[in-house]
A and B are shown apart, each in its own frame.
Chain A
Amino acid sequence: MAKPWYREKPKPYEEMRREVEDAYPELRFIDDGNRIILQGWYLLHEGSQVWDRYLIEVTLPTDSPRGFSIVREVGGRIPCIADRHVYDNGVACVALEDAFWFEYPNGLSLLEFLNGPLRSYFASQSLIEMGETEPWPAGEWAHGAEGIFQFYSNALSIKDPLVILDFLKLLERDEVKGHWPCPCKSGEKLRKCHGDSLYKLRSRIPKDVAARSRVRFQKR
């Protein structure tokens, strides 16, 4: 098994650590031997005014400094239910991974992730607690397989779930040929039909992410 990036490249890791600790002095890095976790108070502030705070635990991705971090709210404040965008095991569903990689194919640095998606996610959670309606300004994906359907349906402009499943299978493949028939059943070759959309998805969404979505979608 490959070594985690932070063990392979201690210098960039130290730089990242300093950058994050300067910006978030109430978060600290903990190395438990197997993984690195960022733990402590995540502050929602505007200028000097702190409006709210959440006790969080962020497990750093092992594959890349710009990978997808796993976040948990560990203060017991947010219930672990889909309506609050939290998995049963406490992991925050900050984003649909497929959509995340499609939008940010180079990933995000830890600081970008903390300053961006996480900030918006927790501020929205505070608004929900205060009884506010429409707390998610960027919108939200439907739960489970329905959210996966929404994303690929938008990206491919296709409404048929079985066709989307065929496209998901192509996302997992090592190679896709332009002369293959397009899964949308138009009778056209892929290159003359959904080829561009498929290529864009393949170039951005990692195969393992697409494979997980396909399995979940298949159960739908």
Chain B
Amino acid sequence: MTENEYLEAILLQQTLAPGSPELKELQEREEEVKSLLRSKFGTARIREAGSKRKGTMVKASYDLDLTCYFPHDDNSAGETLKEIFEGIEAALREKYVTSPKGSAIRVWDGTGKTDFHIDVVPGRFVDGNDGDVFLYRSSGDKERLKTNLDVHIDHVRDSGVLDAIRLTKLWRERNGGNVKTFALELLVIKLLEKKKNEALSEQLRHVWEQFKEDGENLTIEDPANPSGNDLSELLNDGIRFWLSSTATNTLDAIEQSGWDAVFGEVESDKSQRVEALRRITVATPIRTKPWGNG
């Protein structure tokens, strides 16, 4: 198995199949929280905004983000961003356990049955265009930031390096890192800007080499507000050290033991795969005979 066949197999293992229990749970939770928010805040525009929409879900990391934005002239949830934030948190607290996390409210079901959580991001549209939003910040220097979620999602979805992002997220999970997904996505996209057509293994090596060699100088900017939002707190000294040292260990591990040392072994049973694919070809409800324009 080549390096890239191995990485493709890892990606398949990490892909959430349509109708899988994980995705069903995600959809059920999403609907539950959405309907609670709708019942309390009828004018809010509630949308899914996490890895599902960006196309970067991996089984190891697929929590849900929901935005809850109010029209620019709507004060029904509060006059200030802080009041909106607190009002939404209070509403969510009636049913869930919550805690503020930057611009988001982190929500757990509180039963202890699952560690699954949802991040709800309250905000208010800047104007009537339903694009740019102001978000409240529960921590940090500034109390509000201006951003645009659609721009974030498009920036990631159209990056051309989704597989590299997925595997870097998996690498973070496997190594217990706490670098924010948004920061990791922006870093990978920036570092691979001129390497989109390279093989996945080369892309990952390049990302880790940059983390290792240039960890102190890594910078990211908000694609929706490049000069207005300071994202430096997402890449503080601790995060930089973690990126650099873990990338060094990863590159050494590949050198010494191969890629299995990074993402684990791949179960490779050809006959099992052939049988499954044969079942798929005959189980489809509607089949056609292919033709060729010879």
Contact = CB atoms under 8 A, between A and B. Distances in A.
Interface stretch (A58-66, A129-137, A192-200): A129-137
Instruction: Kindly state the interface size class of chain B when it binds its partner.
Output: 35 or more
A99 interface: yes
Contacts of A147: 291-292
A88 B292 CA distance: 10
A24 interface: yes
Query: Quick one: which of B13, B279, B286 has the most chain A CB within 10 A?
Result: B286
Instruction: Kindly state the interface size class of chain A when it binds its partner.
Output: 35 or more
B97 interface: no
Contact of A144 (B20, B22, B290, B293): B293
A108 to B, nearest CB: 7
A164 interface: no
A117 B286 contact: yes
Nearest to A45: B17
Nearest to B52: A25
A98 B43 CA distance: 50
Contacts of B13: 50
A48 B21 CA distance: 7
Nearest to B17: A45
A51 B276 contact: yes
B286 A51 contact: no
Given A46-B276, A123-B277, A135-B281, A95 B288 contact: yes
B286 A83 contact: no
Given A53-B15, A126-B277, A137-B281, A25 B293 contact: no
A44 interface: yes
B290 A95 contact: yes
Contacts of A25: 16, 18, 23, 52, 57
A51 B294 contact: no
Contacts of A108: 286
Contacts of B21: 48
A116 B287 contact: yes
A43 B18 contact: yes
Contacts of B11: 53
B140 interface: no
Contacts of B277: 44, 51-52, 123, 126-127, 130
A160 B290 CA distance: 24
Interface string B267-294: 0001001101111111011111111111
Interface in B6-33: 11-13, 15-23, 27
Interface of B: 11-13, 15-23, 27, 52, 55, 57, 157, 270, 273-274, 276-282, 284-294
Given A45-B20, A82-B294, A137-B281, 7 more contacts: A24-B18, A25-B16, A85-B290, A103-B288, A112-B285, A113-B286, A132-B278
11 contacts: A22-B18, A24-B18, A41-B15, A44-B277, A99-B288, A116-B287, A137-B282, A140-B289, A140-B291, A141-B290, A143-B292
List the 5 closest A-B pairs by CB distance, nearest first.
A143-B294, A116-B286, A82-B292, A95-B288, A82-B294
